[in-house]
Amino acid sequence: MYAELDPARLPHHIAIIMDGNGRWAKRRHLPRVAGHRAGVEAVRATTETAARLGIPALTLYAFSEENWKKRPRTEVAFLMGLLRHYLKQEVPLLNENNIRLSYIGRERELPAEVQECMAWAREATARNSGMKLTLALNYSARSELVDAVNGLMRELADNGNVPHVTEQDIARHLYTHYLPELDFVIRTSGEMRLSNFLLWQVAYAEIYVTATLWPDFRGLHLLQAISEFQKRERRYGGLPEPAPAPEPVAPERAHASAASPAEALSPTGK
């Protein structure tokens, strides 16, 4: 599969909505937390594959703001503990693969011990120069836009003037301002929605949905998704490139092409 990919047309920024942990566990008559635990291996395999491909940026939707409100407290507590365990366990592997770790979302609302572990892991990988791995934690795209507008308003107030606001002004205040333009979104488990994820950034991104549940997702699935990405024609609202005009046919070639089928099949052409 890797040999079939065009290295010059790889995505610059892949974002993944990691969905299906609960259904994976339910199909195996296991508690939901077993699905979350199995999903860690999918994170590891996907991250390693993306880094080895040379993908500049990978963003994983790990924990949404809505998860706080709609999940049982026991499950949320397990997820916070699993996050701390993942960070402590994976930092050596991230360093081995030259991956720099960062986060988007309202970090300040997470438990203090989780914030400390996140800060430690970020600092431990800060000197790496390879792929940027971003975990979306306590993330909401709508909250991101609210925070961006508030940040822009503070900047304008400090400057003492109110110039014409552009898309670039807002983009500078998004959580993802340090990342390449998002060009590919993958969602597992077959659901056909974005779930409040990177709503501004997804404007011209290609979207790929797979029925594979997140705990079953591996490097091969990522390669298949990228292969599909490379088959698409990215127009950005424009028209497809016109087909090249056919080469003019010389008179001699035109005369030869007018021969009957029987003559064309004859060894001598007669």
Kindly report the backbone phi and psi dihedral angles of residue 62, in degrees, each rounded to the nearest multiple of 5, phi listed first. -95, -40
CA–CA dist 43, 62 (Å, integer): 10
**How far apart are the two ends of the chain, measured CA to CA in Å?**
48
CA–CA dist 132, 55 (Å, integer): 9
Tokens for 98? 């030259």
Residue 122, amino acid: R
Active site residue 147: no
CA–CA dist 31, 23 (Å, integer): 10
CA–CA dist 119, 157 (Å, integer): 30
Q: At what angle do helices 219-231 and 32-53 cross, to 10 degrees?
A: 60
Active site residue 19: yes
Q: Which of 19, 21, 138, 183 is catalytic?
A: 19
Q: Which of 67, 95, 97, 196 is catalytic?
A: 67
Q: What residues act catalytically?
A: 19, 67
